[in-house]
């Protein structure tokens, strides 16, 4: 009998590198969290938002790291890499205007060059709305990182059903050339979204929680099923 050589697991460090706030980074992070936990992925989560800790409200087990420090103290983010010694995926929700600190850390540690040695893949999740600043920030990230990371593009339809500005941009063409995966986040009814926020519930938890009305639970169920289909398209990017 021939012994097969077991390939090492390629672990994932998933970050949201955009600086712009209010585009749905934390909400998207909770959706990724729901998807990974349902698949029993060995997961560790972090919240870098010292001001609001939005992600930690929805995911209480998320570890808080304060990145509001001087550049020479960003070694606090070593915790992200250390966590991969015991889990397969680290999911990091960044704060508004905090992307610069995370990118500074990545450059300081030469993390993109160490991916093979650390047996990890660095995943950038970027959120797209029809917003010039959000798209411009992605363009800057592309110029800096190109094929040094893997890209997952989240098309957020919260405000509009079309993303004309992004679809016609050179940024999208560059992402497609790099093999970036695109998924869609449909609009969740505002009243349901507000109730989930008030009760600190992810969409997955909202499906069964008595804290929200039956109609809201039903909307969460529909939304959850749609997101499973979307994330299934990105398995190769976010699953170990």
Query: What is the distance between the alpha carbons of residues 167 and 4, in angstroms, rounded to a whole number?
Result: 45
In the structure encoding, which two tokens stand for residue 99, read together? Answer: 């992307």
Q: What's the pLDDT band for 54 if we cut at 50, 70, 90?
A: confident
Q: What's the pLDDT band for 21 if we cut at 50, 70, 90?
A: confident
Strands 150-156 and 89-93: unpaired
Q: What's the pLDDT band for 10 if we cut at 50, 70, 90?
A: confident
Q: What's the pLDDT band for 25 if we cut at 50, 70, 90?
A: very high
pLDDT of residue 7: 55
Q: What is the mean pLDDT of the chain?
A: 93
pLDDT of residue 2: 43
Higher per-residue pLDDT: 167 or 7: 167
- Span 120-170, pLDDT tens digits: 999 999 999 999 999 999 999 999 999 999 999 999 999 888 999 999 999
In the structure encoding, which two tokens stand for residue 190, read together? Answer: 């505002």
pLDDT of residue 142: 97
Are the beta carbons of 104 and 27 closer than 8 angstroms? no
What's 11-190+231-238's CATH class? Answer: alpha beta
Domain parsing of the chain, residue ranges = 11-190+231-238
pLDDT of residue 98: 65
- Mean pLDDT score, 188-205: 96
Query: What is the distance between the alpha carbons of residues 23 and 201, in angstroms, rounded to a whole number?
Result: 19
Percentage of the residues of the chain whose pLDDT score is greater than 70 = 95
pLDDT of residue 1: 40
Query: What is the distance between the alpha carbons of residues 150 and 234, in angstroms, rounded to a whole number?
Result: 11
Query: What is the distance between the alpha carbons of residues 127 and 204, in angstroms, rounded to a whole number?
Result: 20
Higher per-residue pLDDT: 72 or 106: 106
pLDDT of residue 154: 98
pLDDT of residue 97: 67
- CA 151 to chain CA centroid, Å, is 10
| Window from 45-49, 96-100, 206-210 with minimum mean pLDDT | 96-100
pLDDT of residue 9: 62
| SS3 sequence of the chain | CCCCCCCCCCEEEEECCCCCCCCCHHHHHHHHHHHHHHCCCCEEEEECCCCCCHHHHHCCCCEECCCCCCHHHHHHHHHHHHHCCCCCEEEEECCCCCHHHHHHHHHHHCCCCCHHHHCEEEEEEEEECCCHHHHHHHHHHHHHHHHHCEEEEEEECCCCCCCHHHHCCHHHHHHHHCCCEEEEECCCCHHHHHHHHHHCCCHHHHCCCCCCCHHHHHHHHHHHHHHHHHHHCCHHHHCC
Instruction: Tell which residue, 233, 185, 232, has the closest CA to residue 38.
Output: 232
- Mean pLDDT score, 166-186: 97
Q: What's the pLDDT band for 100 if we cut at 50, 70, 90?
A: confident
pLDDT of residue 216: 97
Residue 60 has pLDDT above 80, yes or no: yes
Please, what sign has the CA dihedral across residues 94, 151, 158, 91?
negative
């Amino acid at each position: 009998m021939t012994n097969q050589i077991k390939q090492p697991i390629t672990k994932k460090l998933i970050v949201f590198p955009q600086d712009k706030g209010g585009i749905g980074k934390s909400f998207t992070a909770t959706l990724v969290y729901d998807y990974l936990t349902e698949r029993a992925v060995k997961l560790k989560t972090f919240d870098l938002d010292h001001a609001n800790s939005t992600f930690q409200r929805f995911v209480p087990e998320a570890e808080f790291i304060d990145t509001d420090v001087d550049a020479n103290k960003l070694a606090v983010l070593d915790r992200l890499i250390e966590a991969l010694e015991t889990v397969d995926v680290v999911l990091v929700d960044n704060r508004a205007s905090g992307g610069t600190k995370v990118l500074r850390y990545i450059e300081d540690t030469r993390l993109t060059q160490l991916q093979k040695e650390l047996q990890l893949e660095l995943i950038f999740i970027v959120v797209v709305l029809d917003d010039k600043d959000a798209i411009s920030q992605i363009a800057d990230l592309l110029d800096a990182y190109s094929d040094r990371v893997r890209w997952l593009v989240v098309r957020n339809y919260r405000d509009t059903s079309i993303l004309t500005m992004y679809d016609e941009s050179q940024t999208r063409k560059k992402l497609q050339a790099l093999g970036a995966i695109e998924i869609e986040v449909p609009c969740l009814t505002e009243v349901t979204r507000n109730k989930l926020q008030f009760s600190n519930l992810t969409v997955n938890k909202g499906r069964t929680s008595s804290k929200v009305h039956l109609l809201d639970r039903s909307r969460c169920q529909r939304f959850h099923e749609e997101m499973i289909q979307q994330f299934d398209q990105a398995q190769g990017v976010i699953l170990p």
